[in-house]
Amino acid sequence: MNAAVRAVVRMGIHCGSDVYVIQEGYQGLIEGGDKIHRTKWFDVSGIIELGGTVIGSARCMGFKEREGRRTACLNLIKRSITHLCVIGGDGSLTVEQKALYKKLHIVGIVGSIDNDFCGTDMTIGADSALHRIVDCVDSIATTAHSHQRTFVLEVMGRNCGYLALCAALSCCADWVLIPESPPEEGWEDQMCERLNRAREYGSRLNTIIVAEGAIDRNGNPISADYVKKICTERLNQDTRVTVLGHIQRGGRPSAFDRILGTRMGCEAVLALLDSTDETEAAVIALKGNQMVRIPMMEAVAETQEVGKAIAAKNFDRAIELRGRTFRR
Ligand code: F6P
The pLDDT tens digits for 23-82 are 999 999 999 999 999 999 999 999 999 998 999 988 888 888 889 988 999 999 999 999
Name residues whose C-beta falls within 8 Å of residue 99's C-beta, 6 or more positions apart in sequence: 66, 69, 70, 73
Asked whether residue 271 carries a pLDDT value surpassing 70, the answer given is: yes
Residue-level pLDDT at 110:
96
Atom 13 in ligand 1: which residue has the minimum CA distance?
246
For residue 158, the CA-to-ligand 1 centroid distance in Å is 7
Atom 4 in ligand 1: which residue has the minimum CA distance?
156
Concatenated DSSP letters for 110-165? EEETT---TT-S--EEHHHHHHHHHHHHHHHHHHHHHHT-EEEEEE--TT--HHHH
Ligand 1 closest atom vs CA 89: 1
pLDDT tens track for 154-173: 999 999 999 999 999 999 99
Residue-level pLDDT at 132:
97
Q: Which residues line ligand 1 (CB under 6 A)?
A: 89, 112-114, 156-158, 212, 249
Concatenated DSSP letters for 259-320? HHHHHHHHHHHHHHHH--TTPPPEEEEEETTEEEEEEHHHHHHHHHHHHHHHHTT-HHHHHH
For residue 191, the CA-to-ligand 1 centroid distance in Å is 28
Distances (CA, A) of 68 to 61, 74, 100: 9, 10, 11
Average pLDDT value over all residues in the chain: 93
Asked whether residue 327 carries a pLDDT value surpassing 70, the answer given is: no
Contact 56, 50 (CB under 8 A): no
Q: How far is CA 90 from the centre of its chain?
A: 9
Q: What is the ipTM of this complex?
A: 0.93
Residue-level pLDDT at 111:
95
* Terminal alpha carbon distance of the chain: 28
- Rounded Cα distance between 82 and 106, Å, is 9
For residue 288, the CA-to-ligand 1 centroid distance in Å is 27
For residue 147, the CA-to-ligand 1 centroid distance in Å is 32
Residue-level pLDDT at 238:
94
Mean pLDDT of 304-322: 94
Residue-level pLDDT at 95:
52
Mean pLDDT of 193-207: 94
Residue-level pLDDT at 60:
84
Name residues whose C-beta falls within 8 Å of residue 139's C-beta, 6 or more positions apart in sequence: none
Residue 16 region by backbone torsions, left for phi larger than 0, else alpha for psi between -120 and 50, else beta: left
Asked whether residue 97 carries a pLDDT value surpassing 80, the answer given is: no
What percent of the chain stands above pLDDT 70? 96
Mean pLDDT of 91-110: 76
Concatenated DSSP letters for 152-220? EEEE--TT--HHHHHHHHHTT-SEEE-TTSPPPTTHHHHHHHHHHHHHHTT-S-EEEEEETT-B-TTS-
Catalytic position from the list 90, 114, 116, 127:
114
Residue-level pLDDT at 175:
98
Residue-level pLDDT at 81:
95
How many CB atoms are located within 10 Å of the residue 22 CB?
Answer: 25
- Rounded Cα distance between 65 and 163, Å, is 33
- Rounded Cα distance between 233 and 2, Å, is 46
101 falls in which pLDDT band (50, 70, 90)? low
Distances (CA, A) of 186 to 156, 167, 174, 183, 270: 25, 24, 17, 8, 53
Mean pLDDT of 4-24: 97
Q: 43-69 in b/e burial notation, b at 16+ Cβ within 10 A?
A: bbeebbeebebbbebeebebbeeeebb
- Rounded Cα distance between 164 and 151, Å, is 14
pLDDT tens track for 124-160: 999 999 999 999 999 998 888 888 899 999 999 999 9
- Tell me, yes or no, if 277 is annotated catalytic: no
Mean pLDDT of 105-118: 94
Mean pLDDT of 205-228: 97
DSSP state of 35: G
